[in-house]
Amino acid sequence: MKTAITIWNGRVAPVFDVARQCLLIENESRLEVPIPDGSAAFKASFFGDHSVSRVLCGAISREYENALVVSGIEVISFIAGPLEQVLDAWRAGNLVQAHFSMPGCGCRRRRCRNRGQGHSLNR
């Protein structure tokens, strides 16, 4: 299962819609890849072409989230923090913590706008 994390300045990118880089993770391999500009459908296609099954990101608009979900990609959003700390927490199964939630996000890291409903937040 391949996971993409949108990144900016060594952190999870604050807004998926305008993110320019992502880290692709599969097993122990990591590859930083530029994200092309484009519509929600175009970006969903980009992640699909890279065989991504899960995206971890900061804030995301409904348009982009829906395009990813319709493409069969799980979206775990409103994640914030330094990339390596987020990766460590995700791998350890501890991503559901208040300090990894974006500031102002009133949800408890689950079911915010129905994100992640019925899915594990971990590998």
What CA–CA distance (Å, rounded) separates 12 from 58? Answer: 6
* DSSP type of residue 59: B
Q: To which residue do tokens 């995206």 refer?
A: 55
Q: What is the pLDDT of residue 95?
A: 77
Which helix (H) or strand (E) segment holds residue 52: the answer is strand 52-56
Q: Tell me: pLDDT of 36 over 90.
A: yes
Q: Which two tokens stand for residue 121?
A: 């937040």
Q: What is the pLDDT of residue 104?
A: 57
Q: What is the pLDDT of residues 59-117, one digit of tens each?
A: 999 999 999 999 999 999 999 999 999 999 888 887 776 667 765 555 544 434 434 43
All structural domains of the chain: 2-114 (3.30.420.130)
Between 10 and 92, the higher pLDDT residue: 10
Judge contact between 4 and 19, C-beta under 8 A.
no
Q: What is the pLDDT of residues 43-55, one digit of tens each?
A: 999 999 999 999 9
Q: What are phi and psi of 106, to 5 degrees?
A: -80, -10
Q: What is the pLDDT of residues 92-104, one digit of tens each?
A: 887 776 667 765 5
What pTM value is reported for the model?
A: 0.81
Which helix (H) or strand (E) segment holds residue 91: the answer is helix 83-92
